[in-house]
A = this chain, B = another copy of it.
Amino acid sequence: MRISFIGSGRVATHLAKVLSKQHQIVQIYSRNIAHAEKLAQLVNAEAIVNDQKLVADIDLLIIAVSDQSISQVIQAVGRYLENVLIVHTSGSTNLDVLTQYHAKSGVFYPLQTFSVEHEIAWGNTPLFVEAAFTDDQDILTQLANSLSNRVYQYSSEQRLSLHLAAVFACNFSNYCYDMAKQVVDSKQVDFSLLYPLILETANKVTQNDPRAMQTGPAIRGDLNILNMHEKMLEADEREDLKKIYHMLSQGIQTGQH
């Protein structure tokens, strides 16, 4: 397939890199020429900063920009790429944000966290595809199958709920690591001591219901420890962490299903 990208951020970079192994990446558009050129060089494509220079003889255009820019992008490029299948890569953006301006639209959503420094294990990354037309859905499914053995045809609504869950499972758990690091950093204790605990906690949850795996003072109802921990955060003038500690402990104790 001949594939072009709008965007040169983390999702575009990781996706272009892996797709370039089996497909031809034709153009990389970014408003920032340095970013466009950096990624274009990596995947042997042409860098462009003018979206009217996007060529139409491609099979797929992947829009990998921030969620709030998708609508603006499709309005700008959809009209002169009428016969090109155009997809976005967003978990929380409905397909109709594209279809209202461009009929031949779809979604190609990788449920993964993309950081600059870290390689993605594409083989087991769940990919969610959706398209306005059945034959496009087939094309996207085939493309997804070439990257991962976990490909799903999901509606925008299902994808939305997955993305919300991903914020809890990924963004918020990472923030918990961040807060843990702040706690030990302030006492000159090495954060890496917590690595085995972090990995064990994550591994366990792939084998058991997290509710059943919950440990710690909150689920034990150990009020002495809960109070002591809150006092420690108070003494360190970390009212922000104290509030979060209190709210999450309460959630653990009263958690509904």
Chain A residues with a Cβ under 8 A of chain B? 10, 66-68, 92, 111-115, 117-118, 120-121, 124-126, 150, 152, 157-158, 160-162, 164-187, 189, 191-220, 222, 224-225, 228-229, 232-233, 240-241, 243-245, 247-248, 251-252, 254-257
CB atoms of B111 and A166 under 8 A apart: no
Tell me, in angstroms, the Cα distance from A178 to B243 when the chains sit together.
20
Within the complex, the shortest CB–CB distance from A124 to chain B, in Å, comes to: 5
How many copies of this kind of chain does the complex include?
2
Query: Is the pair B245, A247 in contact by a Cβ cutoff of 8 Å?
Result: no
Task: Tell which of B113, B120, B177, B219 touches A215, judged by Cβ atoms closer than 8 Å.
Answer: B113
Contact indicator B202/A113 (Cβ below 8 Å): no
Bound CA span A198–B211, Å: 15
- With A67-B217, A67-B222 given, name 6 new contacts (CB 8 A): A68-B222, A92-B228, A117-B208, A173-B202, A174-B210, A199-B203
Residues of B within 8 A of A208 (CB): 115, 117-118
Q: Which of B111, B152, B189, B229 contacts A167 (CB 8 A)?
A: B229
Within 8 Å by CB of A205, from B174, B204, B252, lies B174
**11 A-B interface contacts by CB (under 8 A):** A113-B200, A113-B201, A150-B193, A164-B183, A166-B180, A169-B194, A173-B201, A195-B205, A199-B202, A199-B206, A247-B247
Q: Tell me the nearest residue of chain B to A232, going by C-beta.
A: B164
Q: Collect the chain B residues with CB atoms within 8 Å of residue A196's CB.
A: 111-112, 121, 124-126, 150
Residue in contact with A175 in the complex, picked from B10, B214, B241, CB distance below 8 Å: B214
A203: min CB distance to chain B, Å:
7
**With A171-B218, A252-B175 in contact, is A209–B194 under 8 Å at CB?**
no
* Chain B residues, Cβ within 8 Å of A126: 193, 196
Expressed in whole angstroms, the minimum distance between the Cβ of A90 and any Cβ of chain B is 9
Q: A198–B175 contact, CB under 8 A?
A: no
> Is the beta-carbon distance between B92 and A170 smaller than 8 angstroms?
no
| Across-interface contacts of A185 in B (CB, < 8 A) | 257
On whether the beta carbons of A197 and B113 are closer than 8 Å, the reply is yes
Give complex CA distance A111, B199 in Å.
12
Q: Which residues of B contact A112 (CB under 8 A)?
A: 196-197, 200
Contact B257 A182 (CB under 8 A): yes
A124 surroundings in chain B (CB, below 8 A): 196
| Residues of B contacting A194 in the complex (Cβ-Cβ under 8 angstroms) | 111, 162, 165-166, 169-170
List of B residues within 8 angstroms of A187 by Cβ: 157-158, 161
Residue numbers in B under 8 Å from A175 (CB-CB): 210, 214, 248, 251-252, 255
